[in-house]
Structure 1
Amino acid sequence: MERRNLFRAAAAATLVTTAAPEVAHAAPATFDQDDPRFAIAVLPDTQYLFDADSSDPAPLRETFGYLLEQRAEDNIAFLTHLGDVTEHGTEQEIVLAGQTFTKIDGKLPYSVLAGNHDVDGSKDDQRGASAYLSTFGPQRQRKSRTFLGASPDGYNTAHLIEAAGRKWLILALDWRISDKGLAWVKSIMGDYPTIVTTHDLAYADDTGQAALSDHGQRLWDNLIKDHDQIFLTLNGHYWPPGRTTLRNARGNDVHVHITNYQDRYYGGAGMIRLYRFDLVRNRIDVETFAPWFLARDPARRTPLESETIELTSDVDRFSLDFDFDARFPTPKPAPRPAARVVDRHTAAYWRFDQAGQSVADGATVRDLSGKGNHLTVRRLANSTPETLTLSEEHHVGAPAHASLRFDGGKNPDRGAVLQTAGNAPLNSAKFLDGYTIEAFVKLPEPFAGDHSWMGILSWEGRAGDAGKHSGWSDLEPTCSLNISGERFLQYVLYSEVGDHNPTHWSHALPTGVWQHLAVVNDGKRSLVYVNGSKIARNPTQPARGIATVGRPFTLGATSFDLKYGQGFYGWIGDVRITARALRPAQFLPGGHYR
């Protein structure tokens, strides 16, 4: 947190503790709704910053500036305020708070709800007109594209955000929602993963263990318990902060969190929490900090500022394991026909879901590019029919919902290969203007036995026969994609132009999950991608074309001195070769990297 704000600390060197001038912030940044990682900012009770003639909105302005400045880096989707915006709910306080919020109007979607200090706390959401409603009511919220609707009384709002390729519902409920308000909430809820925000729902003891308040119990019994889409509740009002996990009527977890720092120095100083959702790691990481103090020159911070910059107790900084796909399954993409992933640049495309497809020795897997590069199945010595079988397993983004299951290995060497015929155009293709090779691969879990240096695909032919002598051996093939004993992906290439032998190395591939592999060559050099991410060890050596020598393209193994022993161990899905460099967005999975 300190490192990414050093530049702002320098700019803030002349600030003083109270009524500090605002630090200039960068222009608003964009939000990537397709990124599987995003954040929701949570802002609890700011009431002591808007307290009659003691008001000081500077901390909140700094918080808003921070959120706008960091929006792209942290991929912040939304901000939710948990109520008690002001201390007395007077028109003077509410108007000042409303003016402060104009800093993010139209730049960062947000919700605000009424706490007991913002309205007449003796009444529920049927209380009628108020200064709060005039300033923060639906007429303000509906200007946001995330605004879904408001209850007829105006005190309860719903917000639909799009993040990580999903839609998420955030409910901002009045501090005392009525039966009419609850009926409205139930009418607007869909099947979206839902977060309930309100002012009073749970309180905590000094250990941080939370329990439902009386009003919270009412919300639990009449809304939360029976709506499985609600997985997280956030409230302020009480301190200290705390959390607990409850089980709903379906036996699923509901995370109940209290966030309130008004008892801390400077009324909490506009402190926020960031809930970082990570749908790749299936985690929610939570951190709590005060941007106002963070922006100050460390050498000029007072002791109280320094100790309040970031809170690190287990109720302020923690992580939750959360399997989003298991709790909220989404429809999987339907198979895509070959015509949707083949164009005039496609040199070859093989998939394993064709009607009547066989994997017996001699069976043909057709090249769906129309270029005639059909594959023929052949098992190696010491192999059985089980060495190669058809499978319904597939990467979620693969066009075909099928794959080949290879059971190759060492001791004794065994495997299966699929090879082009002797006259296939692919055998002599040079790809001088660039190419992209793609394959879906999954390694078994557990990854038992010795399967080091197994080949995924290759062009057969000795490097020496192609006049290339720069590599490890003149007997290795001119182009191959392999996996080492440490499960590192290795791409070895002998260029057609020049005696170059660039070798690429990935990180260790995980087991039990599908990977999309891509080699992209632009006619000058090659880059290897795993799941759309460029690997680290991509050499800068020139690489123009592939030094093919007219021998077959092979799927499922790599030859040495034109001989095959060990075959691949695992699954191989769709394989496509394109005679030009593709961008990651043009790869077979599109946006379905998992």
Structure 2
Amino acid sequence: MTIHNDGTSRRRLLQAGATGVGALGVGALPGALSPAFAGTTTDTASTMGDTASAAVTTGAAARRTGDPDSPRFTLAVVPDTQYLFDTDRGDPAPLTASFEYLIEQRAADNIVFTAHLGDVVENALTMEFAQAAPVFDVLDRARMPYSVLAGNHDIDGSTDDQRGDTPYLQTFGPRRFRRSSTYGGSTPDGYNSYHVFRAAGRQWLLLAMDWRPSDAGFAWARKVIADHPRMPVILTIHELVYADAGDPVAKFSDHGNRVWEQLVDGNDQIFLTLNGHFWPSGRVIRQNKAGHDVHLHITNYQDRYYGGSAMIRLYHFDLARNTIDVETISPWILEQQPARRSLLAEGELELTDETNRFSVPLDFTARFAGFDPQPVRPERPARELVIPGTLAYWRLDGAVGSKVIDRSGRGNDLTPVLLPGSPADSLKTSTDHHPDQPAHASWIFAGGKDPARGGYLRTADNAPLNRQTFRSGYTIEAFVKLADDGADHAWEGLLSRLGTGADVGKTGSDPSEPVAKLGFSGGRQAQWAVYPLDQNDTFTNWGHEQLAGRWFHLAVVNDGKHSTLYVDSSELLRNPATPSNGLSTTGAPWLLGAGHYANTIDQTFAGTIGDVRIVDHALKPSQFLNA
């Protein structure tokens, strides 16, 4: 099926060019029912499904899978589809379209798993499951991992998971999933199952629990979690929380309280729960016994036009951004010709209210640390970082008041200096450090201006580094955290070289500016402003605004012709294209933690500084201290 980008769906515009692969009822207007499978057996329906969905995904499309190591992946969620399979009143086309959309988007969105939340059918009838089975065959043929659980309309709602055999179990029991790459097992009764899928470089466990788990069912789930002690767990179950119209904050149902007490509260690995059954949609955060957040979401659209149009929830996990972005769309309506959509269908393309399109901030590493702590990168010896060409390597791990030894062995030691009238604690030692910093220590600089106050470090008057002109290029890198104190630290200096443009015979721009300065603007933008050897004017590289209170790695690299700024090994934008070579010098000292104007300290640095290294040639990001 071709997805028509008619401007209604923002997401389709972002994915311009995406196409689908054909569905039952392509181009059909809402109201054209397709009860093609009524009264057939499961096996017959499967065979008929092969014919009826002749436009189903090709083998090539089925092979297009995502990247299990990418920090971004998608979990698809399919809530109550019961009105699509309601004796002779249903229509399988919407759900078929949803599944084919997921298959087609599998690689683009890195869709790793699909979870149905129960109430597949309306009346728990064999004929209804015969209608539903071939639609799920679409996923099976594409080898698209998925789970299904029983809702109260799929079985006798007055029973628990010890109810015995049912048409649901015959259709969606363990036999159906035994060839799935993610299927881990089921309870002996067959109504509770678990899956393990790989995404973002790790394994995730998803529980698909029955409408009413027995005590044995809950015990089984607890054991499954215990048997996978380092996996984050997503719980899917038909009933857990509900929300009232006008109040999207979800609340526990009576049964939801039992699920929380028996399974969720005491199992810190469960960080997200998904359920249907009730409507409208809603969500809430509750803290478990470990004091950690559990996100509880209800999603169900059966009350909406065309039985919910087989709307799907897409949970876009982004471990790089520590966010889950959630959207709700109807692929069946998206694939219809815009000119032929009904008025009601037009309003159901996607749901953009705050209960159906939202983001969940989630620090995955911190949230999972209780059961899967990430190993701390060990401190690395200085000798391992003194690579050929290292001119200076300073590790701020000694006592304040003492020299900071140049670990390169070239004698470019630093001496602490306090500006007149500055408190004695203007420089302080700290064990705080960037997680990828070789030394697990830093110094805190309590700098300020108007008047200049605080402390800094400087090389000796005769230090070899003072005379370096860097004709072959250079790499200067530092671990930095800007102060988050609300004060104005505009144009503070991180590293500068005494001497001005005028002192080296430069007449361009402002000759009173330093010959070299790495610092930050009033907008906390990194700035590298220098007088090169081969230019009469300053050359400036600009970065973007840095967040205060957060560690980052900063590097400026010159290959003898051009300079480039990097933050966290990412090349920034505003780097001059005009060639520049070397750094002018008067032979005066370097200052760490201060800048100057006309050779007078005008402001010291406010924040924390970790390791600093200067090398006499250009390094690749793979050679930086944080590599």
Structures share a fold, TM > 0.5? yes
Question: Is contact 1:9-1:297 (8 Å) kept?
Answer: no
CA shift at 1:582, angstroms? 4.7
Alignment match, 1:397 = 436
User: What is the distance in 2 between the residues matched to 1:176 and 1:41?
Assistant: 23
CA shift at 1:493, angstroms? 3.0
| Deviation larger for 226-235 or 424-433 | 424-433
CA shift at 1:285, angstroms? 4.1
User: What is the distance in 2 between the residues matched to 1:133 and 1:373?
Assistant: 75
Q: Secondary structure at the match of 2:450?
A: coil
Residue in structure 1 matching 2:256, options 199, 216, 221: 216
- Does residue 15 (structure 1) correspond to residue 27 (structure 2)? The answer is yes
- Does residue 337 (structure 1) correspond to residue 380 (structure 2)? The answer is yes
Q: Secondary structure at the match of 2:603?
A: coil
User: What is the distance in 2 between the residues matched to 1:238 and 1:30?
Assistant: 33
Alignment match, 1:552 = 589
**Inter-CA distance 488–5: structure 2 relative to 1 (3 Å threshold):** closer
Alignment match, 1:79 = 114
The Cα offsets for residues 303-353 of structure 1, whole Å up to 9 and x where unpaired, read as: 122111112344323445556566544446144213554533544332223
Q: Secondary structure at the match of 2:135?
A: helix
User: Any stretches of 5+ residues in structure 1 without a counterpart?
Assistant: none
Instruction: Using structure 2 for the length normalisation, give the TM-score.
Output: 0.79
Q: Secondary structure at the match of 1:455?
A: strand
- Equivalence map 1:342-357=2 (5 Å): 342-344=386-388, 346-353=390-397, 357=398
CA shift at 1:253, angstroms? 4.8
Q: Secondary structure at the match of 1:286?
A: strand
- 1:172 aligned partner, one-letter code: A
- Equivalence map 1:458-537=2 (5 Å): 458-466=496-504, 468-470=506-508, 472-499=509-536, 501-537=538-574
- Does residue 240 (structure 1) correspond to residue 280 (structure 2)? The answer is yes
Question: Is contact 1:50-1:97 (8 Å) kept?
Answer: no
- 1:43 aligned partner, one-letter code: V
- 2:557 aligned partner, one-letter code: V
**Inter-CA distance 428–227: structure 2 relative to 1 (3 Å threshold):** same
- Does residue 306 (structure 1) correspond to residue 340 (structure 2)? The answer is no
Residue in structure 1 matching 2:208, options 164, 172, 176: 172
User: What is the distance in 2 between the residues matched to 1:424 and 1:89?
Assistant: 87
User: What is the distance in 1 between the residues matched to 2:171 and 2:20?
Assistant: 36
User: What is the distance in 2 between the residues matched to 1:486 and 1:463?
Assistant: 25
User: What is the distance in 1 between the residues matched to 2:412 and 2:174?
Assistant: 62
- Equivalence map 1:131-150=2 (5 Å): 141=177, 147-150=183-186
- 1:337 aligned partner, one-letter code: R
Alignment match, 1:4 = 14
CA shift at 1:158, angstroms? 3.0
- Does residue 454 (structure 1) correspond to residue 498 (structure 2)? The answer is no
Question: Is contact 1:460-1:551 (8 Å) kept?
Answer: yes
Q: Secondary structure at the match of 1:102?
A: helix
Alignment match, 2:612 = 575
CA shift at 1:403, angstroms? 0.9
CA shift at 1:270, angstroms? 2.7
Alignment match, 1:187 = 223
CA shift at 1:294, angstroms? 2.5
User: What is the distance in 2 between the residues matched to 1:228 and 1:447?
Assistant: 36
**Inter-CA distance 2–447: structure 2 relative to 1 (3 Å threshold):** same
Q: Secondary structure at the match of 1:447?
A: coil
- Does residue 156 (structure 1) correspond to residue 192 (structure 2)? The answer is yes
User: What is the distance in 2 between the residues matched to 1:409 and 1:428?
Assistant: 29
**Inter-CA distance 251–486: structure 2 relative to 1 (3 Å threshold):** closer
- Equivalence map 1:114-125=2 (5 Å): 114-118=150-154, 123-125=159-161
| Deviation larger for 193-202 or 121-130 | 121-130
**Inter-CA distance 587–198: structure 2 relative to 1 (3 Å threshold):** farther
Alignment match, 1:113 = 149
Instruction: Using structure 1 for the length normalisation, give the TM-score.
Output: 0.83
- 1:44 aligned partner, one-letter code: P
- 2:239 aligned partner, one-letter code: D
Question: Is contact 2:95-2:135 (8 Å) kept?
Answer: no
Question: Is contact 1:8-1:295 (8 Å) kept?
Answer: no
| Coordinate RMSD, CA, aligned | 3.9
Question: Is contact 1:23-1:62 (8 Å) kept?
Answer: no
The Cα offsets for residues 412-465 of structure 1, whole Å up to 9 and x where unpaired, read as: 3234332334555544445555543222222222232x4322210123343355
The Cα offsets for residues 461-508 of structure 1, whole Å up to 9 and x where unpaired, read as: 4335555544x3233333321112332221113334555643122333
- 1:556 aligned partner, one-letter code: G
User: What is the distance in 2 between the residues matched to 1:343 and 1:137?
Assistant: 61
User: What is the distance in 2 between the residues matched to 1:477 and 1:141?
Assistant: 69
| Deviation larger for 386-395 or 430-439 | 430-439
User: What is the distance in 2 between the residues matched to 1:68 and 1:428?
Assistant: 63
Question: Is contact 2:21-2:100 (8 Å) kept?
Answer: no
- 2:446 aligned partner, one-letter code: D
- 1:495 aligned partner, one-letter code: P
CA shift at 1:222, angstroms? 1.6
Question: Is contact 2:271-2:294 (8 Å) kept?
Answer: yes
Question: Is contact 1:393-1:403 (8 Å) kept?
Answer: yes
Alignment match, 2:8 = none
**Inter-CA distance 437–169: structure 2 relative to 1 (3 Å threshold):** farther
**Inter-CA distance 100–33: structure 2 relative to 1 (3 Å threshold):** same
| Deviation larger for 301-310 or 146-155 | 146-155
- 1:182 aligned partner, one-letter code: F
CA shift at 1:510, angstroms? 2.4
| Deviation larger for 259-268 or 244-253 | 244-253
| Deviation larger for 459-468 or 560-569 | 459-468
- Does residue 262 (structure 1) correspond to residue 302 (structure 2)? The answer is yes
The Cα offsets for residues 544-571 of structure 1, whole Å up to 9 and x where unpaired, read as: 4444554433311223344434221211
**Inter-CA distance 121–385: structure 2 relative to 1 (3 Å threshold):** same
Alignment match, 2:266 = 226
| Deviation larger for 157-166 or 305-314 | 157-166
Q: Secondary structure at the match of 2:222?
A: helix
- Equivalence map 1:348-427=2 (5 Å): 348-353=392-397, 357-360=398-401, 363-421=402-460, 424-427=463-466
Question: Is contact 1:447-1:511 (8 Å) kept?
Answer: no
Identity level (%): 49
Alignment match, 2:7 = none
Alignment match, 2:484 = 445
Question: Is contact 1:124-1:177 (8 Å) kept?
Answer: yes
CA shift at 1:586, angstroms? 5.0
Paired residues, number: 579
The Cα offsets for residues 177-236 of structure 1, whole Å up to 9 and x where unpaired, read as: 232221121112236543210123334444456444444333223212333443332112
